[in-house]
Every structure is written in C-alpha cells, then in structure tokens.
Amino acid sequence: MLGHTLAYRVTDIRVIDPDDFSVFGIDAGKDEVSLLTCTPYGVNTRRLAVTGERVDIPDPAPAPDDVPLARPGWWLLAAVGVAMALTAAMVFAAVPAGMAAAAAPAYVSASLSKVADGTGHGTSNQTFVNAANGFEVGDNSPDDGVVSSGDLVLYRLDLGFTAASARTVRVRWDLADAPYLEGGTEFCYSGAQVTASVQDDGSCVFTVPAGVAESVSRQIVLRGRVMAIRCPAS
C-alpha cells in the first residue's frame, strides 16, 4: 500500500446481497480493512464481505539448511429438500486401554435455511420448464419448491463455534431423501481461526483450536441431477 507492506488478520467473512453494505463501517480506534468479492462459487446473486484487522508482521523464521526445494437440462422436476448431519470429535491426549472415550459434545450451533431453489429466473439462463412454456408443474420462480434438472439450489449454513477444548466438527449432507440433488464442497473453507478441510467422502471437517469462539456463514450450492428418461413409444 503506497510502498508499505501491511498485514491484516481476517476476522469476519459473510455472504451478503450485492446491494447490502450494512456490514461495512468505520470503528473508531480500530485499524481495519474490508474486501468485497464478486460471484462467490460462480453464483451471481451473492457477495462475500471479508473484514480484517491490522496485525504486526512477524519476523520470518530462518529456513533450515536441510529442507529440500521443492444449462440446465430439463428432464426432471422435483421438490427440494436437504438434511445436514453434524458430528464432532474432541482432541484427547490419550485414552486408557480398555476404556471407551465418551461421546464428546460439539460445542457448535448450526442452522440451515433455503436461499433459492432455482437460479436464472428472469434471465436468459432461466429453465425452459415453466408455465410460460406450457409446463405445469413448472419451475416458475426461485422459491416455489421446484427445481429443474441441472439447475442450482442454494442454502445458507450458519455455524457458531463456542469456546471449548480443541476439537474437530464434521459437516456432511444427507441426500438420501433427495436423490435428484448432488452437492459440492465449495462451502468448505477456513474462517479467521477455524480451519476447514475437504474429506474423501465429500464432508467438511472444521478444526477448532482450544478457546476459540467464531461464527461462520457458508453458502451451500446443490445441483439438480441431469437425468434422461425414456419416452413411451407413440
């Protein structure tokens, strides 16, 4: 910045509407910076608002000498539903032999809310399966509970991690009752102090350090599966 190098620590990441600037402001006595990104996850209906606070730049640690260098289809219509499962594991130093570790509390609150069950309405990306083209039931609005194959379904996930012992919290999606939907892992990224990692089974593991309290909001993007159907012979 004008020839100077500054360091900021991310303190808050929020998903907001494109015209919502209420999260930005000046806090007296604080040295903060805010960043507004565009089209998170490729969905042009939300923005990511990132806030950071000024921190000292640490002295670089000397490197050891021995370190080597190194559109949517339209064959399927279905009601939208999704469930979330949370599991948690505390970090124990040791468990005595022959003694099972008791189930550990997650110390996390979670809420899931639907943002939209279809995107592109009113644009050239709108699904063909709608009332205007003679389809009923049709995907006529972004909140009618109907999604066409290949279209996107958006959910908002809010997680509140309470200060406690170090632990991991796993988030996964149970789509057994919604086989017409498939989920991604775009929501799995780290917060200010809580880190996140994608697992082989498609779940996300959040690692919470001891004593850390943090709230994160994530946008979940699901997609209606593109499925071909056999038409009856005429």
Euclidean distance between CA atoms 215 and 162, whole angstroms:
9
Judge if 92 and 51 occupy the same domain.
no
Whether 61 is in a domain gets the answer no
Q: Which domain holds residue 142?
A: 77-224
Query: Residue 47 has which token pair?
Result: 């923005």
Judge if 46 and 114 occupy the same domain.
no
Whether pLDDT at 113 is above 80 = yes
Whether 102 is in a domain gets the answer yes
Query: Residue 128 has which token pair?
Result: 């063909």
Q: Which residue has the higher pLDDT, 11 or 41?
A: 11
Q: Find the helix or strand (DSSP H, E) in which 155 lies.
A: strand 152-161
Q: Which residue has the higher pLDDT, 99 or 8?
A: 8
DSSP notation for 136-151? SS---STTSSEEETT-
| pLDDT of 102 | 45
Judge if 104 and 204 occupy the same domain.
yes
Tell me how crowded residue 231 is: count the other CB atoms within 10 A of its CB: 6
| pLDDT of 20 | 77
| pLDDT of 74 | 40
Q: Which residue has the tokens 């194959």?
A: 149
Whether 170 is in a domain gets the answer yes
Averaged pLDDT for residues 119-144: 62
**Least confident piece of the model among 102-111, 121-130, 196-205:** 121-130
- Give which of 113, 108, 110 is closest to 88, Cα–Cα: 108
How sure is the predictor about 196, in pLDDT bands with cuts at 50, 70 and 90? very high
Euclidean distance between CA atoms 97 and 166, whole angstroms:
22
Judge if 165 and 125 occupy the same domain.
yes
How sure is the predictor about 49, in pLDDT bands with cuts at 50, 70 and 90? confident
Q: How many domains does the chain have?
A: 2
Q: Which amino acid is at 143?
A: D
Euclidean distance between CA atoms 119 and 100, whole angstroms:
48
Whether 16 is in a domain gets the answer yes
| pLDDT of 159 | 92
Judge if 93 and 18 occupy the same domain.
no
